[in-house]
Amino acid sequence: MLVKIYGCAVYGILATKITVEVNIVTGVNFYLVGLPDNAVKESQQRIYAALKNNNYKIPGKQITVNMAPADIKKEGSSYDLTLAIGILAASEQVSISALEEYVIMGELALDGAIRPIKGVLPIAIKAKEEGFKGIIVPQENASEAAVVEGLEVFGATHINEVIRFFNEDKGALKQFVFNPVDFFAPPDNIDVPDFSDVSGQENIKRAFEIAAAGGHNVLLIGPPGAGKTMLSKRVPSILPPLTLGEALETTKIHSVTGRISKGGGLVTQRPFRNPHHTISDVALVGGGMNPQPGEISLAHNGVLFLDELPEFKRTVLEVMRQPMEDRMVTISRAKFSVEYPASFMLVASMNPCPCGFYNHPEKDCVCAPGVVQKYLNKISGPLLDRIDIHIEVTPVPFSELSKQRNSEKSADIRKRVIAAREIQKQRFEKFEGIYCNAQMSTKLLQTYCVLNDTCKTLLKNAMERLGLSARAYDRILKVSRTLADLDGSPDILPNHIAEAIQYRSLDRESWAG
Write down all domains in the chain, each with its CATH number in brackets: 2-178 (3.30.230.10), 204-430 (3.40.50.300), 440-513 (no CATH)
Query: Which CA distances in Å does 334 have to 308, 340, 390?
Result: 36, 18, 40
What span, in angstroms and rounded, lies between the C-alpha atoms of 320 and 477?
Answer: 23
**What pLDDT, on the 0 to 100 scale, is given for residue 359?**
74
Is 189's pLDDT higher than 50?
A: no
Query: What CA–CA distance (Å, rounded) separates 240 from 269?
Result: 10
pLDDT digits (tens, 9 = 90+) for 270-325: 999 999 999 998 999 888 777 889 999 999 999 999 999 999 998 889 888 888 88
| pLDDT for res 507 | 65
Q: pLDDT category, 181, cuts 50, 70, 90?
A: low
pLDDT of 180 strictly over 70: no
What are the tens digits of pLDDT across the range 81-93? 999 999 999 999 9
DSSP state of 413: H
Residue 190 has what pLDDT? Answer: 55
Interval 312-365: pLDDT, tens: 998 889 888 888 888 889 888 777 788 899 999 999 999 888 887 877 777 888
Average pLDDT over residues 398-427: 83
Confidence tier at 513 by pLDDT (50, 70, 90): very low
User: Among positive and negative, which fits the CA dihedral 31, 37, 42, 43?
Assistant: negative
pLDDT of residue 477: 92
Q: Give the lowest-confidence range in 23-37, 118-132, 346-360.
A: 346-360
- Alpha-carbon distance 238 to 202, whole Å? 15
